[in-house]
Amino acid sequence: MGMDENNPYPVYMDARFGLHYKEGANHMSGIPEEMFAVIDPHWGKFPPQHPMIIHMIVLIILCLLCTNITGNCLVIYTFIRSEKLRTPTNMFMVNLAFSDLCMITSMGFPVVINQFFARYWAFGVQACRIYGMLGASFGTCSLVTLVAIGYDRYNVIVRGIAGGKITHFKAVIIIIFLWIYTFLSCALPLFIDWGSYEAEGLLITCGYVYLKQDWNNKSFVIFTFVSNYALPLVILFVMYWSIVKAVIANERQLKAQAAKMNVESLRSNNNERQELKIAKVALTSVMVWTFTWTPYAVITMIGCFGDPMLITPLASQLPVVFAKTGSCMNPLVFAFSHPRYREELARLVPSLGIGKEKDKGKDADDKTSVNTKI
């Protein structure tokens, strides 16, 4: 296959999938000039990216899209249908699943559809900015929802009776506040001249403007980094550290009291153990969010204050995709760690086969018991 001299983007793959392009071609070659409003000149410093890389990224996003929709829809369905799970704490869990679901649907579908039209963002300048704002908003909403869950666990485990109980009404008010806070902090660039969103990496997704060195964009990135990443994580760390200390202190008190009474254990409160299990689920979700979003936070900081040449198209794109995997993990965390969720999911969706081994064990015990009686 030879090169077409009239092709504005003279790149082709040979039979062995090798990439060939004219001398002087770069990552921005062939992109319409009107899109340069949301594409930093930085990306023109790199050669054209191999189309197979873009195809693989899109395939990964498609897999994440299917996984996320299935898992989070099951979480929302189970928590809503089960009366046992309709607690204020689980309202936050449903909000987390809803935010994760919105994240992948608003982020995933445009990228997959875009693949059939162009190798770059094909939906226009304003759509790119809205796309970036939605990604930032839903990611932030998931984090602040985890803060709300952490506060609920802190209130129950650390403060105990002294802490005011979160009712269903209070939970609704908190959730509304979380969404307002999220969109107010992330949608500012769409309404005022402060920061912006633009195409990034392989130019098939859009996110924060972190490559421009002017103070307008830098200050917005700093603001979002502190308010939508660092501060919530610090609050979570303080709350869960307090929870861990409270649990350790309580364990010591129980052991000391048991020793005085010459008994093996004083544990008899199943509700207390259930509260701790829910706290473990919440803490695991926090760790997942931190692990998946931190690489993207690091990239934005390098772009603002480090050496921009370290940020290649692929180095910029991979953290974006990795951040989206976090929205798929919470259903797995619930399935493996939340006993009541597993129980209700097995009851409401028996076709999944959850709990069958346990039922078989019960049947076997029943048969043994009958045979013994005979």
Q: Which domains does the chain have, with CATH numbers?
A: 49-352 (1.20.1070.10)
- Computed over every residue of the chain, the mean pLDDT equals 83
Backbone φ and ψ of 197, nearest 5°: -130, 145
Helices 168-186, 125-154: inter-axial angle, 10-degree rounding? 140
Tens-place pLDDT, residues 153-203: 888 888 776 667 788 999 999 999 999 999 999 999 999 989 999 999 999
Q: Out of 125-129, 202-206, 215-219, 337-341, which region has the weakest mean confidence (pLDDT)?
A: 337-341
Name the residue with higher pLDDT: 28 or 368. 28
- Coil/strand/helix, residue 222: helix
Distance of CA 78 to the CA centre of its chain: 20
Whether the Cβ atoms of residue 136 and residue 221 lie closer than 8 Å to each other: no
CA atoms within a 13 Å half-sphere pointing along the CA-CB vector of 108: 23
- Residue 360: the pLDDT is 47
Whether the Cβ atoms of residue 79 and residue 32 lie closer than 8 Å to each other: no
Tens-place pLDDT, residues 16-39: 667 767 777 888 888 889 999 999
Six-digit token string for 266: 């004083």
Say yes or no to pLDDT of 317 above 90: yes
- Residue 15: the pLDDT is 64
Secondary structure in 3-state letters for 10-56: CEEECCCCCEEECCCCCCCCCCCHHHHHHCCHHHHHCCCCCHHHHHH
